[in-house]
Structure 1
Amino acid sequence: MNIRLGVDLGGTKVEIVALGPDGRPLLRERSPTPGGYRATVETIAGLVEATEAKLGAQGSLGIGIPGSLSPATGLVRGANSQELNGKPLREDLEERLHRPVRISNDANCLAMSEAADGAGAGYETVFAVILGTGVGGGIVSRGRILEGRNRVCGEWGHTPLPWMSAEEFAGPRCWCGRPACMETFLSGPALAADADGPGARDASGLPARAAAGDCRAQAALDRHTDRLARALAMVVNILDPDVIVLAGGLSNMEHLYEAMPRLMPRHVFSDHAETPVVRAKHGDSSGVFGAARLWDSGG
């Protein structure tokens, strides 16, 4: 049986899926993300071996990670799961599992999944956004992930927020060391801290609070919505994708889909701007489905 295996390496969980020839999931399993690099390698390998044993077949293997592989060294870099940085993850997994492995950024995997049979299906160029604990982006065009010469294509969260106001300038310093990264304005923890002060991290309750008349929650949501509109308009000015797909915890906030078409055009350098902004069809499963499809991308 021809199967494709995908692994999504997250901050709290490691998930594996096996897709059959028709693209439907045959088996899915999750395991808590362990502490430490070696334990992470073993957890991934263990999930792969257990899945193949249950299915009685070996498959191609793609892995989505919160970072990317350096084209110069092959080592992981830019991962907010910082125990991965500087490690030869692909080589260690290939040695452990005795097969080639493809690894890509988790936002690239999201874009691959949503372009294949999700909210971006039928569009030529898809820009997919993760709005969660971190902020990232991935691009798929004509069925292929665009990674770029330096393999940073779509690293949208680590560019400065555009059209900053005097109150926003010069912005907080990101964990990556740079000031004013969009992640420091648009992530879930950033939104929570804007509403409730330093140390707050959970923004999920803000829409309900705002609907109940909490002015502080509403003001934070308004600032976040305006910032997201500016940030996405910048992507339109550079890439002009056919659709923008939102995923991650903040993508569940309904007001974003009403506000983006209204707010984005004022920042787009065109007399006509109607880029659709839609919610990911596969939710938090997009990453693992897209990882399984990495061998389809030809990259």
Structure 2
Amino acid sequence: MAVISVFDIGGSKIASSTVFMAASGRLPSDGVSSIPTPVEDYAALLRTIVGNVPSEAEAAGVSIAGLVNPKAGVVRAANIPCLAGRPFREDLERETGKPVFLINDANAFGLAEASLGAGADHSSVFAVILGTGVGGAVVVDGHLLQGAGMLAGEWGHGPASAMRTGRPLPRWRCGCGQTGCIDVYGGARGLERLHLEFTGRRSCSFEILRDWEAGDAGALETLDIYLDIVGGALAGIVNLIDPSILVAGGGLAGNDKLLRALEQEMRARILTPDQAPSLVAASLPGNSALLGAALFASGELSKR
């Protein structure tokens, strides 16, 4: 049984646990703790991680929101500025004396759901993050597809369009530096900005969805455009990689009606609508990124 110390680092908090990787695939844990993320102090961030790695751990798996290069051991995370240009994995390995494996949080989520959650009975899984922004991961036969540039699954950073509704989209700049990425329209903040743009009303994403379900005219207009953008983008994903299921996580994925509407939009726009994969909500508990980090670290450790 491998003992893996796992972390999920976000812009406000770090979740940590110790996961025991049994040969049966069961993943008992000693519970999850949460501590604030020192986003501006790199030395404090290292101390926080190192101080929570128990001596019996064979390795550490670290899930983090941002652009992760597991081979180089570096991270670009806009909400954790102290990581910029730092050899994060190298420093953690030096301080802990243990191998450390970094993974993007969307990849960790996708690996967990494909191995233990809603995608466990499927050979090809596309994980869809519908949170503050959008993200994703590709898992084939239980293996995470990362790609030459570690960018596989980053569907949020292609150009957005609304071809069915024919609505010209505002030219919003994305955090990646490009203009008009799917990410700036497809997440919760994007939905809110679209609603303000097209109705003049400032509402949070949950209020917009509530009004949409109640038949409010403004919310119906906003969601029609949103579904055009996001459902169309998902159709492109399905045509490109042909997954057998799409598993959605993040705050917006908690709305079942939205998922059904996105699936319908996607199904109508793929090449084989009669063979369309289902779009389903994630089935694992909220700390799936920790499980994904454990699975990733355990798999990489076994290769050594």
| TM-score, scaled to structure 1 | 0.88
**Structure 2 unaligned runs (5+)?**
none
Structure 1 Cα separation of the partners of residues 135 and 207 of structure 2: 22
Aligned with residue 216 of structure 2, among 214, 236, 253 = 214
| Aligned-pair CA distance for 1:32 | 2.0
| Aligned-pair CA distance for 1:213 | 4.6
Residues 87 and 200 of structure 1, relative CA distance in 2, 3 Å threshold: farther
Equivalence for 2:238: 236
Q: Which amino acid aligns with 2:185?
A: F
* Higher alpha-carbon deviation: 87-96 or 232-241: 87-96
Q: Secondary structure at the match of 1:291?
A: helix
Equivalence for 2:157: 158
Structure 1 Cα separation of the partners of residues 216 and 38 of structure 2: 38
Deviation sequence 1:126-170 (CA, Å, 0-9, x none): 111111122111111111111111111111111112555653357
Structure 1 Cα separation of the partners of residues 275 and 31 of structure 2: 41
Structure 2 Cα separation of the partners of residues 167 and 195 of structure 1: 13
1:1-299 equivalences under 5 Å are: 2-20=2-20, 21=22, 22-38=26-42, 39-48=44-53, 52=54, 57-70=56-69, 74-77=73-76, 79-83=77-81, 84-162=83-161, 164=163, 167-169=167-169, 171-196=171-196, 202-270=204-272, 272-298=274-300
RMSD, matched Cα: 2.5
C-alpha contact 2:60 2:101 (8 A) present in aligned 1: yes
Q: Paired residues, what number?
A: 292
Q: Secondary structure at the match of 2:132?
A: coil
**Structure 1 unaligned runs (5+)?**
none
Query: Could you tell me the percent identity over the aligned residues?
Result: 33
Deviation sequence 1:204-225 (CA, Å, 0-9, x none): 2322233345332332233222
Q: Secondary structure at the match of 1:26?
A: coil
| Aligned-pair CA distance for 1:85 | 3.1
Q: Secondary structure at the match of 1:272?
A: helix
Q: Secondary structure at the match of 1:261?
A: helix
Q: Secondary structure at the match of 1:205?
A: helix
| Aligned-pair CA distance for 1:4 | 2.1
| TM-score, scaled to structure 2 | 0.87
Q: Which amino acid aligns with 1:43?
A: T
Q: Secondary structure at the match of 2:171?
A: coil
* Higher alpha-carbon deviation: 37-46 or 141-150: 37-46
Deviation sequence 1:77-105 (CA, Å, 0-9, x none): 3x232513322111121122111100011
| Aligned-pair CA distance for 1:201 | 7.9
C-alpha contact 1:109 1:290 (8 A) present in aligned 2: yes
Residues 214 and 35 of structure 1, relative CA distance in 2, 3 Å threshold: same
Q: Which amino acid aligns with 2:195?
A: A
Structure 2 Cα separation of the partners of residues 186 and 68 of structure 1: 19
Residues 230 and 290 of structure 1, relative CA distance in 2, 3 Å threshold: same
Residues 253 and 71 of structure 1, relative CA distance in 2, 3 Å threshold: closer
Q: Which amino acid aligns with 1:265?
A: R
| Aligned-pair CA distance for 1:254 | 1.5
Residues 192 and 47 of structure 1, relative CA distance in 2, 3 Å threshold: farther
